[in-house]
Amino acid sequence: MDSTVSPVLHFPSLPERIRGLDRIAYNLWWTWHRQARDLFRAMDLRAWRESQGNPIRMLATLPAEVLEGASRDSAFLDLYDSVFDHFDANVASRTGWFCSQWPAAAGSRLAYFSAEYAFHASLPLYAGGLGVLAGDYVKELSDLAVPAVAVGLIYSRGYVTQKLGDDGRQETEELTLDRAYDPLSSVAGPSGGPLVVEVPLFDPPVHVAVWRADAGRVPVYLLDTDLEANQPEDRAIAHHLYATSPEQRLRQEIVLGMGGMRVLKALGIHPAAVHINEGHPALALLDWICQGTEQGLSFDEAMARVHAGSIFTTHTPLPAGTDVFPFPLIEKYFGPLYARMQRDCRRLLEFGANPEDPAAGFNTTVFALRLAGRSNAVSRRHGEVARKMWAGLWPEKKVEEIPIVAITNGVHLDTWIDPVGLQPLLDRRLGPGWRDEQDRAGIWKPVEEIPDQDIWRIHLHLKAALFDEINERARRRWQRDHVRGESVVAFGALLDPQIFTIGFARRFAAYKRPDLVLTNLDRLKRLLLDSWHPVQLIFAGKAHPSDLEGQRVIERVFRLAQESEMGGRIAFVEDYDQELALRIVRGVDLWLNNPLPPLEASGTSGMKAAINGVPNLSILDGWWIEGYNGKNGWAFGAEAPEGDRTAADAEALYERIEKEIVPLFYRRSDDAIPHDYVRVMKASIESVAPAFSTRRMAKQYATEIYASALAPERAQGTS
């Protein structure tokens, strides 16, 4: 919303007529608007490909003649004018859903805090699903014109790429952010030089600089500690996502939460609402209270203000998944604050003690649950789990009264629905207004009437594109790195696009059980190698560098994929990231999800598959308990026994695949289209798109939570 960015020109040599490209390239808005992407492609397709779809890199390398040529090419200029008008009307305007519902909120700000964000491959500041969710959500806040700013950290060496050795061992490499080609601008301070803010609690002080990315109307402020002015260990605070040492992790969370609030203050942004996405930024609430007392509020008044304006979203259904810092470490950093705020501060930090295990230390989730006025879980099932899990914090309440509501996650439709085939098909069949009304179930009804061959043709195209990409990657590894032949097979060189293909791609964490489908190898082999109805499996995913268990599972999958006995029907695709995710969720025939219930709080990859017409085969956990309707995919796992359920789950999985799904897929009529399977594909799109979009999700946060904080007098809105 702050469109008053200093009009720094990053590309001063752009011809005047197309100068707006500068702003478009530096706003991530282009990543979810196809026409804007086409604009860059149209300038020079080859340069676009070579830049790996990064417009900043492309503009920086294009020769002046090409730019001049574009500025005189009338077809290009028509496209440019159309994109630029749309961009300007959207990004610079304050009109939109939220503003029209709550005009009184126009001057208020929501500050959204998250430790990770995935907007686009050119700005990799994420590890997995949490970051992808945050990126999608911020795009949606922009689409809905919620007056928001986002706050995060910049991890200059944090992004890890993955390669597998011939033995299946995961080799990771740190990618250094190349700020010259990232969509980032340095934020200036009052004197005109870079803004530098001191983070409280550190001695010697830690300074942060601020980089700004823009996601449409929402500025994203990213804090950076890698400055000359800082000590070496302080410079490293924001090098890596989720530092493994507890002390560095705490320092990171102090910078993100408390530093983030100080940066907003320095920028003159005084949020009326603060949304804490998972426990990592919880200390923002502490700083908000401190700022209140610094402004002369009493401790109780400061607490009341924070309570009224804060929202905490928990994503973790396991106590072990929350951050807990030993109290001595807390003392070390918060000592000076104790001295200043005395008794009150000690009381505050005691809020971080979990009554179930008070000696364990300061738990950021417990702290946020106690301080935030509103808390929520990320699916209905997760809501039930979270209320039970945290019941000890409200001993006077019954479990069903525990104040943790459920707002189920969603995915950003414009980002995830195939823009080349499927979105234009939807434009034709649903009418171009479907984007504006995407959360209304009725708007999706015409999907049922789309001719099967239209859906199927697009699907085959997406499948072919995925297989081409996998082949090309395998070929490159063979040619460049001289990997062994069986590794080339394991990378997917023998995959056959005619064959029914199951996808499994997400982080390789033990609870997600990537190897569940490998439980009974004889049974699996029969499925894969069936001479009439064969099956293929495509895996992708990284394990955290310190997660040895996850790495062992990758190794196991990869080695099996190398075995000639498996016939080249299992593939492991390296280096899963947002870019590969876009291809893989659209390009397989079935999306598999089999975590150990109830450990998947929500899960979002299945939503991305479903909205592209790829049905889910998922255990009943997380979002699928709400998403599954009997017609839009397959479910299993309700019947599993207590205790070790691996064998029972695997058996149920094989049964569904063998008896229900594979026969449906291979049942073809004369036109070679599996009409019964396409019916499930269409039901996936129709049922999942309206209900599991960030549109529905953000509107729910806005109406149920933000409105009362951002527009207190007129919180009711009109609908």
Q: Look at phi and psi of residue 644 and say left if phi exceeds 0, alpha if psi is from -120 to 50, else beta.
A: beta
Q: How far is the CB of 132 from ligand PLP (least distance, A)?
A: 4
Task: Give the burial class of 714: count Cβ atoms within 10 A of its Cβ; 0-12 exposed, 13-18 middle, 19 or more buried.
Answer: middle
In the set 452, 577, 589, 621, which binds ligand PLP (CB under 6 A)?
577
Q: How far is the CB of 387 from ligand PLP (least distance, A)?
A: 22
- Please give the span between the terminal C-alpha atoms of the chain, in angstroms, as a whole number: 23
Residues 596 to 655 in contact with ligand PLP, rule: CB under 6 A: 603-605, 608
Q: How far is the CB of 585 from ligand PLP (least distance, A)?
A: 8
Cα–Cα distance for residue pair 583/60, rounded to 1 Å:
27
Q: How far is the CB of 623 from ligand PLP (least distance, A)?
A: 9
In the set 26, 56, 109, 129, which binds ligand PLP (CB under 6 A)?
129
Residue 224 sits in the site that holds ligand PLP (CB under 6 A):
no
Cα–Cα distance for residue pair 492/562, rounded to 1 Å:
10
Nearer to ligand PLP (CB atom), residue 101 or residue 593: 593
| Amino acid at position 350, single letter | E
Nearer to ligand PLP (CB atom), residue 354 or residue 594: 594
Length of the chain: 719
Q: How far is the CB of 17 from ligand PLP (least distance, A)?
A: 37
Q: How far is the CB of 507 from ligand PLP (least distance, A)?
A: 6
Using alpha carbons, list the distances in angstroms from residue 218 to 140, 221, 570: 10, 10, 42
Cα–Cα distance for residue pair 581/541, rounded to 1 Å:
10
Q: Are 169 and 551 in contact (CB under 8 A)?
A: yes
* Stretch of 109-117, 127-135, 173-181, 641-649 contacting ligand PLP, by CB under 6 A: 127-135
**How many residues bind ligand PLP, per CB under 6 A?**
12
For residue 460, give both structure tokens: 């085959």
Nearer to ligand PLP (CB atom), residue 23 or residue 506: 506
For residue 411, give both structure tokens: 């995915």
Residue 506 sits in the site that holds ligand PLP (CB under 6 A):
yes
Residue 581 sits in the site that holds ligand PLP (CB under 6 A):
yes
DSSP class per residue in 345-414: HHHHHHTTB-TTSGGG-EEHHHHHHHH-SEEEESSHHHHHHHHHHTGGG-TTS-GGGSSEEE----B-HH
Residue 375 sits in the site that holds ligand PLP (CB under 6 A):
no
Per residue in 264-293, is it b (16+ CB within 10 Å) or e — as a string? Answer: bbbbebebbbbbbbbbbbbbbbbbbbbbbb
Query: Angle at Cα 124 formed by Cα 318 and Cα 595, nearest 5°?
Result: 30
Nearer to ligand PLP (CB atom), residue 143 or residue 577: 577
Nearer to ligand PLP (CB atom), residue 402 or residue 553: 553
For residue 165, give both structure tokens: 């050795």
Q: How far is the CB of 496 from ligand PLP (least distance, A)?
A: 25
* Stretch of 367-375, 394-402, 576-584, 688-696 contacting ligand PLP, by CB under 6 A: 576-584
**H or E element: which one contains 214?**
strand 206-215
Nearer to ligand PLP (CB atom), residue 128 or residue 183: 128
Binding mask 535-554 for ligand PLP (x = CB under 6 A): --------------------
Nearer to ligand PLP (CB atom), residue 374 or residue 412: 412
Q: Are 240 and 155 in contact (CB under 8 A)?
A: yes
Q: How far is the CB of 151 from ligand PLP (least distance, A)?
A: 22
Residue 33 sits in the site that holds ligand PLP (CB under 6 A):
no
Nearer to ligand PLP (CB atom), residue 114 or residue 578: 578
CA 545 to chain centre: 20
Residue entry with tokens 């260990």: 233
Q: How far is the CB of 257 from ligand PLP (least distance, A)?
A: 24
In the set 1, 25, 99, 128, which binds ligand PLP (CB under 6 A)?
128
Q: How far is the CB of 87 from ligand PLP (least distance, A)?
A: 25
Using alpha carbons, list the distances in angstroms from residue 391 to 163, 316, 403, 434: 43, 15, 9, 42
In the set 27, 122, 162, 578, which binds ligand PLP (CB under 6 A)?
578
Q: How far is the CB of 512 from ligand PLP (least distance, A)?
A: 7
Dihedrals phi, psi of 504, to nearest 5 degrees: -140, 105
Q: Are 334 and 361 in contact (CB under 8 A)?
A: no
Nearer to ligand PLP (CB atom), residue 372 or residue 611: 611
In the set 1, 105, 132, 635, which binds ligand PLP (CB under 6 A)?
132
Binding site for ligand PLP (CB under 6 A): 128-129, 132, 506, 576-578, 581, 603-605, 608
